[in-house]
Amino acid sequence: MPADEKRSVLRISSEGGVRLFEVGELLKAIENAYNGTLIFQQTLDALRRWERGFRHFPEAPPLLGFWPSLLVAGKRGKPVLLAKDSFDSLVSRPHRLVLVRVQLKSPGSWDIAGIGAALEVVRKFLSDRHERRKDREYREPLERERLTLENEIVKTKAIESRIQLAKQLGATDEDLAPLTNELLFKPLDELGRFQDSGLITGTKLVESDDEGNG
């Protein structure tokens, strides 16, 4: 298994006494953030494979304006809209997020298994966001805080290395914006509201599914 496909468990701490509909919304928000991150990573990986496949041509097809379509070039060639509702169909069965353990108490926790490289991005976002909100002496405008968190996301190893490669192949920040906004920033920002409401109180990455089941 490639290093980027190693599975890990994200443990999300939460308070007890959560209403049923909130549980469903929380788990779906986690899944959307994970799926979006994973699809982003896989899309840029596909870009690298596409570029290698065309190296033997005298002139490779134009890269800019083409590569976002890699998102929809899979399942029988049928187009898939770039929206959260379509995320599930773009994630293969071995890569899907799985709930492996639940502790129903106060405080409790959710152990969720998936590809570690994507889970680490979700963990870092929630952790950094929590630390910024915890410091009550530090306040900044919401938009500035959001931009700071977005900059931290793209600096994570699993994201930064792929973005650098895309830029080496000719992609610009404007080319990347549709994917970073729709696949990374929006789903993660929506997940953040569960932190604001107190449903997410902490995060921890566990190295293997076995530990998550222990």
Give 90-142 pLDDT, tens digit per residue.
888 999 999 999 988 778 899 999 999 999 999 999 998 888 776 655 566 67
**pLDDT-based confidence at 76, cuts 50/70/90?**
very low
Say yes or no to pLDDT of 74 above 60: no
The H or E element that residue 159 is part of is: helix 157-168
Rounded mean pLDDT of 173-190? 88
Using DSSP, state whether 149 is helix, strand or coil: helix
Q: What is the largest CA-CA distance in the chain?
A: 64
Long-range contact pairs involving 146-150 (C-beta distance under 8 Å, separation at least 24): 146/185, 146/189, 149/125, 149/188, 150/180, 150/184, 150/185
The residue with greater pLDDT, 19 or 59, is: 19
pTM of the complete model? 0.80
Length of the chain, in residues: 214
State the residue for tokens 């997410």.
200
**pLDDT-based confidence at 87, cuts 50/70/90?**
confident
